[in-house]
Amino acid sequence: MIQKQNKKNKLKRLLSVLLVILSLSSFAQIEVSPMVGYFFGGSTNFYEGSIKIKDNINYGLHLGFDMGHHNGIEFSYSLSPTIAQWRPSFNYNDILPARDFNLNTHTFLLGGLKGIPLANDNMIGFGGFKLGAIMYHPTNSNQVNISDVWRFMVGINAGIKFFINDIVGLRIQGNMYMPLYFNGGGFYCGIGSGGSNCGASVNSTVVIFEGDLSAGLIFKLGQ
């Protein structure tokens, strides 16, 4: 019953994002920017131990809606397939043994983008502030007994756009992500349905700083 409710909540979040995008599609010009880059996963310490999300390549897509004067509203999505490493503190070696597990990190952000004209007419500097969510999805959850984790987050970014012509351009940027908190979360691990397992509760408030450097193309659609 709980799993069904969680799936319904996730579906509602995605539908809400789609409705916002559809409402923004009435703008005259849209920028579509597929991106590829390098993700910096971050790490944090709990009383019971520490967890590190390893750095790895990431892929993303930005949809920008022009509001004039190089300013706009932008939706961003990115995915990084990586590995998480759990390392227990000395007192928890037997209860929460060290283990690594595959992890997909999904980020969903929506916010404003401020453009800054540069000396070269074909180049635009920009900076943005966004709000959204991040989902940590263990891809081998059947082996480690760890479920998906959603967190609200804020993101800031800055970069440069270089337009080759009126339709195609290049985009280079850096992003910093900050999940708002880890509070009252749980950590549960296991070898499998037929093996041993373990569990613990993490009640401390912790923030993980993450980010990426990425580059890609820009395609302008509309007038």
Residue-wise pLDDT for 40-94, tens only, equals 988 877 777 888 889 999 999 999 988 888 899 999 999 999 998 888 888 777 7
- Quickly state the pLDDT bin for 188 (edges 50, 70, 90): very low
Q: Give pLDDT, residue 73.
A: 92
Select the more confidently predicted residue: 139 or 10.
139
Q: Confirm whether 23 is domain-assigned.
A: no
Q: Confirm whether 14 is domain-assigned.
A: no
Q: Confirm whether 20 is domain-assigned.
A: no
Q: Token pair of 169, please?
A: 């351009």
Mention every residue, 6+ apart, whose C-beta is less than 8 A from residue 159. Answer: 125, 126, 171, 172, 173, 174
Q: Confirm whether 1 is domain-assigned.
A: no
Are 65 and 73 in contact by the 8 Å Cβ rule? The answer is yes
CATH number of the domain residue 193 falls in: 2.40.160.20
Single out the residue of 39, 37, 82, 40 nearest to residue 61, CA to CA. 37
Q: What is the mean pLDDT of the chain?
A: 78
Mean predicted confidence (pLDDT) in 197-221: 70
**Nearest-angstrom CA–CA distance, 170 and 164:** 8
Best mean pLDDT range from 20-24, 108-112, 177-181: 108-112
Range of the structural domain that residue 177 is part of: 29-222
Q: Confirm whether 21 is domain-assigned.
A: no
- Quickly state the pLDDT bin for 141 (edges 50, 70, 90): low
The SS3 of residue 7 is helix
Q: Count up the domains in the chain and report the number.
A: 1
**Nearest-angstrom CA–CA distance, 178 and 183:** 14
Q: Confirm whether 8 is domain-assigned.
A: no
The SS3 of residue 207 is coil
Q: Confirm whether 2 is domain-assigned.
A: no
Q: 109-118, 147-156, 191-200, 201-210: lowest mean pLDDT where?
A: 191-200
